[in-house]
Amino acid sequence: MIRSILLHSFVIAALVALEPVLSEYHHGNLARIMVLAVYATGYNLLFGYTGLLSLGHAMFFAAGMYGCALMIRLAEWSVGPAFVVGVICALIAGIVVGFLALRTIGVGFMIVTLMFAEAAYLTILYYNEYTRGDEGFTIAQSVRTIGGLDLSDTTTRYFAALTLFSICLIASAAVVQSKAGRVLVAIRENEDRVRMLGFDPFRYKLLALVLSAVMAGAAGAAYAVLFGYAGASFAAVQYSIFPLLWVLLGGPGTTLGPLLGTVLMFYLVDYASGTIMPGLAGMVETQFGIEAPGLASAYLLLVGVALVLLVLFAPRGLLGTVRARMIPWLP
């Protein structure tokens, strides 16, 4: 317990210490990563600890994003109340989806959550007059303030993202170390035995789904106000796949795995698309005289190779493997 608290405190302190020394490029990237890591942390509660694989989490992220952004754009609310509305939208979506989807198991749960997410995505496209569909809309810099702080300022944005991430990290750690958290892990391992011990698996799975949805909604609302944009692409199916990949890479069932996985995947995609694959395409053209413009944009190929290697050599994710082989107390 003490070691877990110290580790989480060290990670938060390290993120604070990094702020003044980061370049402008990495400063913005890390702020974005911390917001997305909140999304992944929520997903980890459901998938990593409870064993429920959702393919519809983009709906919760988009619910928070649009709930917040539309209140600012259409109702001209300030950021604080609009953020709360975004989280409440995700909360309601989590309750509704939970009561329906959790009546299924396994593949059925995956399909039902995917169907809900696709319905939400199509709804956003249908109400294009308000949501601006795939094009999306920006939130004016002048209204992105809270408590007199300008959220478009790089330093303020960084610490706002860090504050949200720290709250969700601590909340996640508190949940998984509580009695409810131990029940969630037991459900992941053997749901029938949990039922025999007198616990109601449905109630605990609903709790995990709602908490996961709230964190995803908070991440979506924060993304809208910190980066000033809301678009339907955040409700598309790939944004349900991303948190799964981040959690798998960092380590399902570890509190810091979502952050590590988000950092590594973000920079892998960034460098693969901007440096590695274009450089490889240029080398092929120079050495063999073959034009390969498609190779420059095939950065997901490198991501796929990395994931295959992960599954082969670290199936528990990076931190999960470290915990299994070297540091058994790792939370």
For 139-151, the pLDDT digits (tens) are 988 899 888 888 9
pLDDT digits (tens, 9 = 90+) for 4-22: 888 899 999 999 999 999 8
In a 13 Å sphere around the CA of 83, the CA atoms on its Cβ side amount to 19
What are the tokens at 84? 């709360």
Give which of 124, 115, 81 is closest to 221, Cα–Cα: 81
H helices present in 19-106, as ranges: 24-44, 58-73, 79-101
The string of pLDDT tens digits covering residues 18-54 is 999 988 888 899 999 999 999 999 999 999 999 999 9
| Amino acid symbol at 133 | G
Is residue 155 within 8 A of residue 24, CB to CB? The reply is no
How big is the CA angle at 290 (ends 300 and 277), to the nearest 5 degrees? 25
**Range scoring the smallest mean pLDDT among 5-14, 116-125, 318-327:** 318-327
Section 74-87 average pLDDT: 93
> For residues 283 and 157, which has the higher predicted lDDT (pLDDT)?
157
Give the global pTM: 0.92
289: left (phi over 0), alpha (psi -120 to 50) or beta: left
Question: Is residue 257 within 8 Å of 44, Cβ to Cβ?
Answer: yes
At 240-270, the pLDDT tens digits run 999 999 999 999 999 999 999 999 988 888 7
Q: Is residue 121's pLDDT more than 90?
A: yes
